[in-house]
């Protein structure tokens, strides 16, 4: 769970309830710091990579979609794109949407992909995604250019469903 979204924008009772349920602290900032200061430098040192943000992307599904969006917002100088698959918007009463309004990186040099299905847990995502789309437009992102939202009719919230469509965000993020 993105720390700044939960701590600054979630209703206090919802944030407290979430922390109580997980039985600990939110470690998202430490997780991102590890990726940016340890993991990525290790990969860039040990392998032939193009290390700049224009060639560095992050992607995840469900809560991984939230942390991917959080990563590009917190480290726009590291990540040039984020793939947010079946983003779990409802957690924290949608607090990530309010965080986005203040934290989205420049649309000039960043790409963001969103999607969701229409069954199982994904059936809850449409109203949140519509709000996210409005935030993207207000931030200056252009649909189909530096931001895409896709709806996969009949798709569920599962690794199997994500596997069937993973090529879509990859093609968008990795376009030349």
Kindly list the structural domains of the chain, giving each domain's residue range(s) and its CATH number in brackets, ordered by start.
Answer: 3-173 (3.40.50.1820)
- Region 121-148: mean pLDDT is 98
Could you tell me the end-to-end alpha-carbon distance of the chain, in angstroms, rounded to an integer? 32
User: At residue 130, does pLDDT exceed 80?
Assistant: yes
Beta bridge partners of 40: none
Q: Which residue has the tokens 């991102």?
A: 32
Chain centroid offset of residue 115 CA: 10
| Residue among 123, 122, 130 at smallest CA distance from 158 | 122
Beta-carbon contacts of residue 172 (< 8 Å; ≥ 6 apart)? 83, 111, 113, 148
Closest Cα partner for 72 from 128, 147, 157? 147
Overall average pLDDT of the 146-165 stretch? 98
4: its two tokens: 């700044």
Predicted TM-score (pTM) of the model is: 0.93
- Between 41-45, 92-96, 142-146, the lowest mean confidence (pLDDT) is in 92-96
Yes or no: say if 152 and 117 are a contact pair by the CB < 8 Å rule.
yes
Q: What number is the average pLDDT over the span 129-155?
A: 98
Asked whether the predicted pLDDT for residue 108 surpasses 90, the reply is yes
| Mean pLDDT score across all residues of the chain | 93
């Amino acid at each position: 769970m993105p720390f700044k979204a939960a701590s600054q924008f979630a209703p206090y009772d919802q944030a407290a309830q979430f922390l109580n349920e997980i039985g600990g602290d939110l470690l998202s900032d430490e997780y991102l710091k590890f990726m940016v200061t340890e993991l990525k430098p290790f990969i860039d040192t040990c392998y032939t990579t193009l290390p700049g943000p224009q060639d560095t992307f992050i992607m995840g599904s469900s809560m991984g979609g939230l942390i991917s969006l959080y990563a590009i917002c917190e480290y726009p100088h590291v990540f040039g794109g984020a793939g947010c698959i079946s983003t779990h918007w409802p957690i924290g009463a949608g607090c990530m949407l309010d965080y986005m309004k203040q934290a989205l990186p420049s649309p000039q040099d960043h790409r963001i992909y969103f999607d969701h299905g229409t069954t199982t847990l994904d059936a809850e995502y449409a109203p949140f995604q519509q709000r996210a789309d409005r935030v993207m437009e207000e931030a200056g992102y252009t649909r189909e250019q530096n931001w895409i939202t896709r709806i996969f009719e009949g798709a569920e919230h599962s690794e199997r469903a994500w596997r069937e469509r993973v090529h879509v965000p990859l093609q968008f993020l990795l376009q030349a």
